[in-house]
Amino acid sequence: MEDDADIYDGIRAQFPLTFGKQQKSQTSLEAIHNATRRSAAANNSNNKTKEDLPSLSSSSKAWLDSLRNSKPPNPNINDSMIGPPRPSAPAPDEDDGDVMVGPPRPPPGSGGDDDDYVMIGPPRPPAGPSSDSDEEEENRYRIPMSNEIILKGHNKIVSALAIDHSGSRVLSGSYDYTVRMFDFQGMNSRLQSFRQLEPFEGHQVRNLSWSPTADRFLCVTGCAQAKIYDRDGLTLGEFVKGDMYIRDLKNTKGHISGLTCGEWHPKTKETILTSSEDGSLRIWDVNDFKSQKQVIKPKLARPGRIPVTTCAWDREGKCIVGGIGDGSIQIWNLKPGWGSRPDIYIEKSHSDDITALKFSTDGRILLSRSFDGSLKVWDLRQIKVPLKVFDDLPNHYAQTNIAFSPDEQLFLTGTSIERESTTGGLLCFYDRSKLELVQRVGVSPTCSVVQCTWHPRLNQIFATAGDKSQGGTHVLYDPTLSERGALVCVARAPRKKSVDDFEAPLVIHNPHALPLFRDQPSRKRQREKILKDPIKSHKPELPITGPGYGGRVGASKGSLLTQYLLKQGGMIKETWMEEDPREAILKYADVAANDPKFIAPAYAQTQPEPVFAKSDSEDEEK
């Protein structure tokens, strides 16, 4: 049975609270968040305990349990109770007419059978046999992933992602050559972008980065020139391209091949770092688009041009790391008089191209992600051997990155889908201290996960996914843990169109304007008049049926009057259609041989008589 309060609320909902103009009904936040709750198909998995993927995070489970336990328990259920039990109502037909004085006794089955057990205070809530330790382990990380929204709009996989420091604006770049800008504060539940950019036609967007003040952002594409935009998406400038015929890269003013990565300085708003396929890293000044400040040529085993696949700053902007195409990781410390010689050189760190590098906040840990399907954890104090290598992480995109949680207890990365695999694109979370897999979150069953980040202010996880035909940014959040961001736009319903929004197109009539600015008059009536005129419209003449006129007879099927009369009189006979052309020609053969008139008399005296060969072969005679 339901409680009295629930019954009262149900009855009250059937009657109006006020009379007159009713207030517009508003959807509750709980119903809104239930609509964005992650389905059971996108399950999560913990390799230690479970093979199935739960649809809810541990934090949202605790929140739901608290809501369920907040209601008073049903007296008909003999479960253990939280708090002191309710007094039982005295039955009128009881045999013993004793009157109970004082608080009632605890119900049977609450521990009274054990004489040595003394219960002080309310009894404990029931606990599962083995779920406490798992839930405490999950609650320690508090991963916000109970709900999900998708920022759509791209036609191909989303390869670049950037969120400003306040968490209000999101940039997403794709292989469809476009950048879309989303604003959480001005966006409603339709989740549409407010601006779309195409930095360079025909070049994929490879990286996006906000400035420290979030008033500008850097766009890196497959072109050799990086672009700078302001916060609203207006172009501020692009860096110069170098001379490709100069052999020494230090003498060129810019990159000469396509860019691979770029990142804004974490502290200085005028400094930018870029890496390119020409085998160099360059530091730029935003105020000078004509030339770079510094050119860094990585250390190579033998002379040549090996592309720099990725680059990154450390937390304070005093250190630069680059991933080289030969599999090495090189780190440079920015100090007076520094040059291209790296301070730390890790040879053959990966067997394939490196796609992402990430420093920890304290500068002790370096994470590296590669095409070889591995994620390696490096201790910069002992750089010879990695601390841990995580394998079985398929990666097919050069922009697959790594991200830390806000407290840096966890780090996460995305995986690409494989042809024969059925897992789909995943987000894998790892514990930094224990160096072990914590959880796997299914993002998309058919799309690969490329970029990911965990925003510290919003406490929301962003993951980009897609394939050859679609792309989007998945935003994972928890209503009890996250702030602003997706919570703001999901709860804002789109504005309904009313009659007042209709605006008739303005038509300005200016008959005395100059011919250059005068509107062309409508020629619809003139075209209709021309179509009715058979001469101007070049309409073919139709055959006449019935009595003729103008020299044409209807029964003659379009022939002239003289032809019609001759046909009727028998003077014109059309027998050529019924004759055989071969017979018509051969009937004049004898006449031409006996009485030649034209060509034969000219050669009668000089032309020899034809002599035909006679064959002696018996086969031919037969």
For residue range 186-196, what is the model confidence (pLDDT) as tens digits? 888 888 999 99
- 206: region left, alpha or beta (phi > 0 left; psi from -120 to 50 alpha): alpha
Can you tell me the distance from the alpha carbon of 26 to that of 24, in angstroms, rounded to the nearest whole number? Answer: 6
- On whether residue 339 sits in a domain, the answer given is yes
Can you tell me the distance from the alpha carbon of 123 to that of 139, in angstroms, rounded to the nearest whole number? Answer: 24
- On whether residue 45 sits in a domain, the answer given is no
For residue 174, the domain's CATH number is: 2.130.10.10
- On whether residue 504 sits in a domain, the answer given is no
C-alpha closest to that of 393 among 356, 364, 433: 356
Cβ neighbours of residue 592 closer than 8 Å, sequence gap 6 or more: 600
DSSP 200-220: STT--EEEEEE-TTSSEEEEE
Average of per-residue pLDDT across 456-465: 93
pLDDT tens digits for range 5-33 = 666 665 665 665 565 555 555 667 778 77
pLDDT tens digits for range 299-354 = 887 778 899 999 999 998 899 999 999 989 999 998 887 877 889 999 889 999 99
- The H or E element that residue 6 is part of is helix 4-12
Encoded amino acid at 371, one letter: F
The confidence score (pLDDT) of residue 129 equals 46
Residue 91 — pLDDT band, cuts 50, 70, 90?
A: very low
Angle at 389 between CA 386 and CA 392, to 5 degrees: 160
- On whether residue 417 sits in a domain, the answer given is yes
Q: For the chain, how big is the Rg over CA atoms in Å? A: 43
- On whether residue 209 sits in a domain, the answer given is yes
pTM over 0.75: no
The confidence score (pLDDT) of residue 277 equals 93
- On whether residue 593 sits in a domain, the answer given is no
- Domain tally, the chain: 1
- On whether residue 137 sits in a domain, the answer given is no
- Structural contact between residues 298 and 279, judged by C-beta atoms closer than 8 angstroms: yes
Within 10 angstroms of residue 273's Cβ, the number of other Cβ atoms is 24
Token code pair at residue 189: 């539940």
- On whether residue 405 sits in a domain, the answer given is yes
C-alpha closest to that of 480 among 9, 56, 48: 56
End-to-end alpha carbon distance in the chain: 116
The confidence score (pLDDT) of residue 203 equals 93
Number of H helices, E strands in the chain: 10, 29
Can you tell me the distance from the alpha carbon of 160 to that of 219, in angstroms, rounded to the nearest whole number? Answer: 9
- Structural contact between residues 116 and 147, judged by C-beta atoms closer than 8 angstroms: no
DSSP label at residue 199 = S
Host domain of residue 267: 147-494
